[in-house]
Chains A and B, each alone.
Chain A
Amino acid sequence: MKKTVFVGALTAAATLVAGAASATVLEEVQARGVLNCGVSTGVNGFSAPDSAGEWQGFDVAICRAVAAAVLKDPKKVKFVSTTGQTRFTALASGEIDLLARNSTWTFSRDVDLKFTFAGINYYDGQGFMIKKSMGVSSAKELDGATVCIQTGTTTELNLADYFKTNNMKYEPVPIETNAEAQQQYLAGACDAYTTDASGLAATRATFADPENHIILPEIISKEPLGPLVAQGDDQWADIVRWTLNALVAAEEFGITSANIDELSKGTTNPEINRMLGSSEEDLGGMFGLDKEWSKRAIAAGGNYGEIFAANIGESTPIGLARGLNALWTQGGLQYSPPFR
């Protein structure tokens, strides 16, 4: 079997080398007809395959929206599952066009690793979960606690910083995955479990007795999560950025997947008309797409609020409140620059 596959790869490689010109990412994606989107191998609510093998989740929705904008079909996505170690190499080497894998926007990732973050689709922060029976109501009272912590992540460093600043001691229990953490925490190997607050909520939702566990109010770090692309192709970065902006703006203007067809016939709001392609101005043409690109992106999975509600919102088992991720008009941080 190997030989035949080998020859296949060899010929494929030969033809691809010949055809590998310096095309833009947009041209490559359109020629390929499929968007290669990097996601995680499974994070509850953000990206996971359902029983039919379809990927679902908050990050997955971004991939689908971009595919809808660029390829006119939200299904034309090849989901490449990446791990914490392989995600950035896959993006840098061009194996994937876009990485939507709840990755934190940090200085070194943006500057040193040469990526462009296209925006922030989820404002997260590191929190603590403890058993209610401990009788602790603030992270400041955790002096001397044993803490389950995933190794090799920014959360590990944040934890050390936080305890140092507050002059407290802790004993780390290093663990590898979230699943292992759940087991260790439930078995009582540690007093507290710390990771991103969204992860804590998702984890708590799976317990047989969620009411006996609380997430402490302190958020000890900023974890702005967002989709990112490789540096060097500003057109492609703009497409991803403005697709995300379109989803946020759609929520602000009340465009939903239910009323989008009606609104796209033309409204009295010129900005909605520009977004949905019913105005004279051709915004999509400025970055190589057509007039209706953002209409398709919104129609793919609804606006930002709808995506949030369907995947991680309060009606789902994960049950996250909007919090920082509410629109700026409602006291949150989600804000889209104008479509003009």
Chain B
Amino acid sequence: MSDTHSQTVAYVRDSMLPEKSPPSNQVGAIRWLRENLLSGPLNIILTILSILIVYVLVRAIGPWLLHSIWNAGSLSECREILNGESGACFGVIKDRWHQLIFGFYPPEIYWRPVLTFVLMLVAIAPILFAGVPRKMLWFSAIFPALAFWLIWGGTIWFTICVLLGFVVGYVAFVLLRRVSDLFAVIGAVVATVLWWVFLSGPLSSELAQILPLKIQHVKSHELGGFTVSIIIGVTGIVMSLPLGILLCLGRQSDMPLVKWISVGFIEFIRGVPLITLLFTASLLLNYFLPPGTNFDILLRVIIMVTLFSAAYIAEVVRGGFAALPRGQYEAADALGLDYWKAQRLILLPQALKISIPGIVNTFIGLFKDTTLVVFIGILDPIGLSSAIRADSNWNGIVWELYGFIALCFFIFCFSMSRYSQYLEGKLKTDHR
């Protein structure tokens, strides 16, 4: 008999045993391993297989990465340094990174695209995150014009005159609203377009002569690399979301003409591959336009990419609308809201929330599709990588270049994906 129970009756235990630490296979890493990796025969086999695969991969890539050469002017120089061993020749990235990122942009003004990129992050912050002060939206509104001026350069008056077009449109809207709302919208659009076509050009050249505020002009063909990818991708994304929503509303409209146009547009665009549209933009348009017309190729591509992804966005958003219970529509009607108010306040917020994953999916696809422009001779990162490999110094290099490009694309696409998950979490109001 132990002395623990010396004062008590033999068969009743009234004092606690001291706590023992849990068995060693139920704590910490061992428990995690047991539960997650070795919880059954199948999982054990899978774990072993995975370890084997990881081992093989590390064996294959590890030495290659470890022996990477950063200081070499050509592939043959790399091979000399490596002396028969396998190793990555990242000298090509060191030698050509500026081309992969900026294309043929004049090196002395690399700060301009960099500044534009930083400002872009500032401009989209208030759109993406609710915590940022709302007043910054004003900056987001003028950012597109600012970005255009920074990247392409030239006189600032042109940009200002174009922005004045919106002011003109607004003034026309306010003046005509006394007549009728519809009239005001049409009048505003017509006034803006007339201003752009007839007045902004001469006015900006007049102003430029009085006070020449200009920076070095950069032509579209000098842009390349990730600068082009980001310009096409971001502009396409920003323009295609509103256009897609409008198309989706048009498709659900009761007005036959609007409905047929929207359906026709969506089905036509979804029925042809993007590469066909790009070829149309680059080749066919040349035949339609009068000879000597210089319709910027980058602009043509942006328009085509925007239209393409707008058609997909429209269908994704329509999926969101389809998931709304009928009662939401009826509630909006019962509140006496007109069409636009019902859409803006009740239906669209819910439909868009539901379609976030689909929308971001389309955006990521759009961003990656920008690499297709290589087929019409625009030197995006992929196009530049083949141009770089055509240089005698770097002919024959493959993995290093494509790896670098893949890494950059991954960073962009992964952050888009993470943001969409954050947004979904934030807007989570479902009743699951």
Contacts and interface: CB of A to CB of B under 8 A. Distances in A.
Given A2-B303, A45-B392, A49-B99, 12 more contacts: A1-B231, A6-B299, A7-B162, A19-B292, A41-B383, A42-B388, A47-B390, A81-B378, A81-B383, A81-B387, A202-B395, A317-B76
B104 A50 contact: no
Interface string B183-223: 00000000000001100110000000000000000010100
A4 B145 contact: yes
B243 to A, nearest CB: 10
27 contacts: A2-B306, A5-B298, A5-B299, A5-B302, A6-B299, A7-B165, A13-B289, A14-B201, A16-B293, A16-B294, A41-B379, A41-B386, A44-B391, A51-B391, A53-B103, A81-B378, A83-B374, A83-B377, A89-B286, A177-B386, A179-B386, A183-B398, A207-B396, A208-B79, A316-B392, A317-B76, A317-B395
B345 to A, nearest CB: 27
A318 B294 contact: no
A206 interface: yes
Contacts of B387: 41-42, 48-49, 81
B398 A9 contact: no
B279 interface: yes
Contacts of A19: 292
Interface string A32-48: 00000000111111011
A82 to B, nearest CB: 5
Interface of A: 1-17, 19-20, 28, 40-45, 47-51, 53, 56, 78-83, 85-86, 89-90, 93-95, 177, 179, 182-183, 202-203, 205-208, 316-318
A4 B148 contact: yes
A205 B394 CA distance: 11
A10 B199 CA distance: 12
B391 A50 contact: yes
B336 interface: no
B5 to A, nearest CB: 78
Contacts of A1: 144-145, 147-148, 231, 235, 238
Contacts of A41: 374, 377, 379, 383, 386-387, 390
Interface in B288-317: 289-296, 298-299, 302-303, 306
A316 to B, nearest CB: 6
Contact of B201 (A11, A50, A78): A11
Contacts of A85: 279, 283, 375
Interface string B139-162: 000001101100010000011001
Contacts of B99: 49, 51, 53
A86 B376 contact: yes
Contacts of A81: 377-379, 383, 387
Contacts of A43: 390
Contact of A93 (B287, B306, B374): B287
Nearest to A14: B197
A56 B291 CA distance: 30
B166 to A, nearest CB: 9
B96 A51 contact: yes
B377 A179 contact: no
Interface residues of B, number: 64
B287 A4 contact: no
A42 B386 contact: yes
Given A8-B158, A89-B286, A80 B396 contact: no
B76 A4 contact: no
Contacts of B292: 16-17, 19-20, 28, 94
Given A1-B144, A20-B290, A82 B377 contact: yes
Contacts of B219: 78
B77 to A, nearest CB: 12
Given A81-B377, A89-B283, A2 B299 contact: yes
A91 B386 CA distance: 22
B389 A42 contact: yes
A16 B294 CA distance: 7
Contact of B389 (A4, A179, A208): A179
A81 B388 CA distance: 13
A147 B176 CA distance: 72
A313 to B, nearest CB: 12
A317 B392 contact: yes
A64 B306 CA distance: 37
B95 interface: yes
A307 to B, nearest CB: 15
B392 A318 contact: yes
A49 B391 contact: yes
B171 interface: no
A3 B162 contact: yes
Contacts of B229: none
Contacts of B158: 8
A50 B73 CA distance: 12
Contacts of B390: 40-44, 47-48
B75 interface: yes
Nearest to A47: B390
A31 to B, nearest CB: 11
A7 B200 contact: yes
